[in-house]
Amino acid sequence: MRPPPFATADERNRFVAQIAEISLRYNKAMDSGDFANGQSLRRQMRAMTEEYYERLPLQAVSCCPYDQVPLFYRMDPWGLDGEWWNPDSKRDHPLPCRHFCTLRGAVNFNGKTPRGGDFDAFTGPEIPYVIPRLLGFDTMQAVIAKLPLPFGDAYTVGYFAERRPPVQQLAANWPAKHHSYVTAMGKAEFSFDNDPWDFDLDKWIAAGKLLWCPPESVTAAPVKGTPQDYPYRELRGKRERMVVSSAGVFGTGLPDGSFLSPYED
């Protein structure tokens, strides 16, 4: 049975700090050749990381424009030092509605420097954007939602379609770096995600392709309005791919649309 979720930020922060401390002791043990101790610390680390995932809370992150079913993530809303934000980690979300295609995201740090972990978290740019290639699919709509988090405001962009394109034609699920998926034939595959982004949202709103959740509720029916109604028009921030780690926050440019082979470095 799943243990109860972390009740407070403090409880979660202590747990994440404990994992980091054991990881440090593990590295020391291996460096000094104490492999038996190292093995035991690694087992401890794995068990605690598993428990960390089990204790993450469910959070509504978007809402389907076709049937108004909220999309839930089991996520770490407290800090970018949590393993959930590691682009390679295995995230475990509840089953979405049948229209859901993928979720993208942006995090606005509001001028502050967030604390990162010993990995690169790919949080997205600081203001929401769309991927024109995805919006080009028949019946595809995107929905922007704001999630205030302790280290900044996240803006998710959920993609939903009445007729979902094949999964291999979709894109990475935020905050993953690559697009990992299982084909209809049951084959696990992945591709690099390098689709150009568009921050000029007006035309997509005017075309009825881009909606938003009411700012006060992610689970309320998405609104289809005019560009002037869009509630985050005045938002300012970096328009490039932001990476956060214990070394700081870095802008790493924009995806350029070129094909990146997953089989080359």
Q: Please, which residue, 7 or 58, has the CB nearer to Zn ion?
A: 58
Please name which of 109, 110, 55 lies closest in space to residue 82, comparing C-alpha atoms. 55
**Residue of 66, 137, 190, 192 that binds Zn ion (CB under 5 A):** 66
Min CB(69)–Zn ion separation in Å: 5
74/99 with CB nearer Zn ion: 99
- Pick the piece of the chain touching Zn ion (CB under 5 A) from 59-67, 123-131, 151-159, 253-261: 59-67
Q: Which of 51, 67, 88, 202 binds Zn ion (CB under 5 A)?
A: 67
Nearer to Zn ion, 97 or 127 (CB): 97
Q: Does 192 bind Zn ion (CB under 5 A)?
A: no
Site for Zn ion in 82-111 (CB under 5 A): 97, 99
64 near Zn ion (CB under 5 A) = yes
For Zn ion, the closer of residues 20 and 69 by Cβ is 69
Tell the smallest beta-carbon distance from residue 153 to Zn ion (Å). Answer: 25
Give residues in contact with Zn ion (CB under 5 A): 64, 66-67, 69, 97, 99
